[in-house]
Amino acid sequence: MIVARKRFRLEPYVEFAKRAIAREATYRFDVFTGLGSFVVRIYLLRMVWFALYAHNAAPAGLPLHTIITYSAVALLMGLVLDIDQTRALHDRLHDGSIATDFMKPISVPLYFFADGTGEVLFHAALVIPGLILALLFVHIDVPSFPVFAAFALSFVLGYFVGFFLNFMLNCTAFWTLEISAVQLIVTWLTDLLGGQIVPLILFPAFLGKVVYALPFAAMFSTPLLIYIGTIPPSRYLEVMTLQLFWIVVLGAISTVMWRAGARRVVVQGG
């Protein structure tokens, strides 16, 4: 018997992404919470950096308007990057419905990617009201078009680093079902070590060396330092290659984890 070779079709995944957008849009309340907390943070960053710059000498190459821009763009990026887009994997492992997913004629990891992308696209739309609200409190510098394009590219690379980090974390639910604590730990570490709260260039020398060697820097710090011009165009190739390196490494680990996990799917009585 000849088995017809399955041909890959993109349409189902586009549909999954659309469904995810529609689903997210129904949680309107969370949207308001997200934007409200965003405004509070913008206010706080303005007050904190103003107070610090008022009483101290500015660090070289980082005047007040630059650090305000950095922090505001970091918060805007957070609206997108702080989303755990592969949460569905953990949920489906928890209630056991992952077992039926495997029976469907789809690629299950691609399903999670499509679903997560839909979720993220919806939240990306929040960047626009977020930006408008941010401009009420702070001034944000706008770089030249080529720099902005490099930032956008680096941001997309950072998104993939984040995607695989989340995917790996959610994959651990194949082995231990309770992972909320670990996820929160990684979230706090990502925020600090990724340079979302404090730019990595302000870290003390020895710590700086460590944080640049971690994948978290590839998520937030690299695109942000491109945006404010600390990373000059001559280094774009180098830093983005490093981001690609992390995508490849984390992608490979994700694949291994996914295969090992899928093999031992145990229906948890769901």
Partner 1 sequence: MASASARGSVRRLAGVYREYWRINVLTTLEYRENFILWSLFTLVYHGSAIAALWIVLARFPSMNGWSFRDMFFLYALWMAAHAVHNTFFSNVEGIPERIREGEFDRVLVRPIDPLFQIVTTPGQIFPDELILALATFIAATLYSGVRVDAAFVLFVPLVVIGGALIDLGINLMIATIAFWFVKVDALRWIVLQLEQEFTRYPVAIYSRSVRLLLTFVVPFAFMNYFPAAYFLHKTGATFSLPPQIGLLGPVIGLVFVAIAYAFWRFGLDRYQGVGH
Nearer to partner 1, 51 or 135 (CB): 51
User: Near partner 1 by CB under 8 A, which window of 51-59, 113-121, 224-232, 248-256?
Assistant: 51-59
Q: Is 207 in the site for partner 1 (CB under 8 A)?
A: yes
Q: For residues 108 and 96, what is the distance between their CA atoms, to the nearest angstrom?
A: 14
The H helix count followed by the E strand count for the chain is 13, 0
Nearer to partner 1, 216 or 236 (CB): 216
Q: Is 192 in the site for partner 1 (CB under 8 A)?
A: yes
Q: Is 51 in the site for partner 1 (CB under 8 A)?
A: yes
Nearer to partner 1, 184 or 256 (CB): 184
Nearest approach, Cβ of residue 244 and partner 1 (Å) = 28
Alpha-carbon dihedral angle through residues 121, 127, 129, 131, given to the nearest 10 degrees: -170
Nearer to partner 1, 44 or 260 (CB): 44
The helix/strand/coil state of 152 is helix
What is the x/- site pattern for partner 1, positions 159-178, by CB under 8 A? -----------------x-x
Nearest approach, Cβ of residue 179 and partner 1 (Å) = 9
- Counting residues that bind partner 1 (by CB under 8 A) gives 35
Q: Is 202 in the site for partner 1 (CB under 8 A)?
A: yes
Q: Report the amino acid identity of residue 90.
A: H
Q: Is 137 in the site for partner 1 (CB under 8 A)?
A: no
Contact between residue 154 and residue 239 where contact means Cβ atoms under 8 Å apart: yes
Q: Which of 248, 249, 193 is nearest to 222 (CA)?
A: 193
User: Near partner 1 by CB under 8 A, which window of 31-39, 111-119, 126-134, 154-162?
Assistant: 31-39
Q: For residues 164 and 162, what is the distance between their CA atoms, to the nearest angstrom?
A: 6
Q: For residues 80 and 258, what is the distance between their CA atoms, to the nearest angstrom?
A: 24
Q: Which two tokens stand for residue 188?
A: 């706090």
**Residues recorded for the chain:** 270
Backbone phi, psi, residue 203, to 5°: -70, 150
Binding site for partner 1 (CB under 8 A): 29-30, 32-33, 36-37, 40-41, 43-44, 47-48, 50-53, 55-56, 59, 176, 178, 181-182, 184-185, 188-189, 191-192, 197-198, 202-204, 207
